[in-house]
Amino acid sequence: MNSKRPVNLDLSTIQFPLPALTSIAHRITGVILFIGLIFAFWALSTSLSSPTGFVAVSDALAGNFLAKLIAWGLLSALAFHFVAGIKHLLMDMDIGVTLEGGHKKAQITVVVSAVLIILAGVWVW
């Protein structure tokens, strides 16, 4: 038996580095966007069905807190997923694949995403 095998496999005690956390968050936001397509397609279909449907969706997005929260959540997921996707594309092109470069790109991803999420919140509210 190999004595160099990992002893602790409890994921709750492992400290993930920032690049790993941004990669995990990228996957999670992809799932959120996929599920959020249900809301987005419903809103698009309803708003295009008739003038009454457009007014209904417009009123829901203007006055309903839950609808605004869902819209902001989807825009936030889209912003992070977009920025992290660019980071992954840069990695695929062998740009900044060093340990230091990966950490720098992860920091940039978090900062740019935070700015975009705040801007999306200002726009929705």
> Which residues, 6 or more positions from 36, have their beta carbon under 8 angstroms from its beta carbon?
70, 73, 74, 77
pLDDT tens-digit profile, the chain (125 residues):
566 776 777 777 888 899 999 999 999 999 999 999 999 999 999 999 999 999 999 999 998 999 999 999 999 999 999 999 999 999 999 998 999 999 999 999 999 999 999 999 999 98
- Domain of residue 71, residue span: 19-122
The number of distinct structural domains making up the chain is 1
Four-residue CA torsion sign, 108, 109, 110, 115: positive
8 located within any domain: no
| Annotated binding-site ranges for heme | 81
| Dist. CA 18–CA 16, nearest whole Å | 7
Backbone torsion region of residue 96, taken as left when φ is above 0, otherwise alpha when ψ lies between -120 and 50, otherwise beta: left
Binding-site residue ranges: 81
Q: Residue 109's domain is classified under what CATH number?
A: 1.20.1300.10
How far apart, in whole angstroms, are the C-alpha atoms of residue 89 and residue 16?
22
6 in a structural domain: no
pTM (two decimals): 0.85
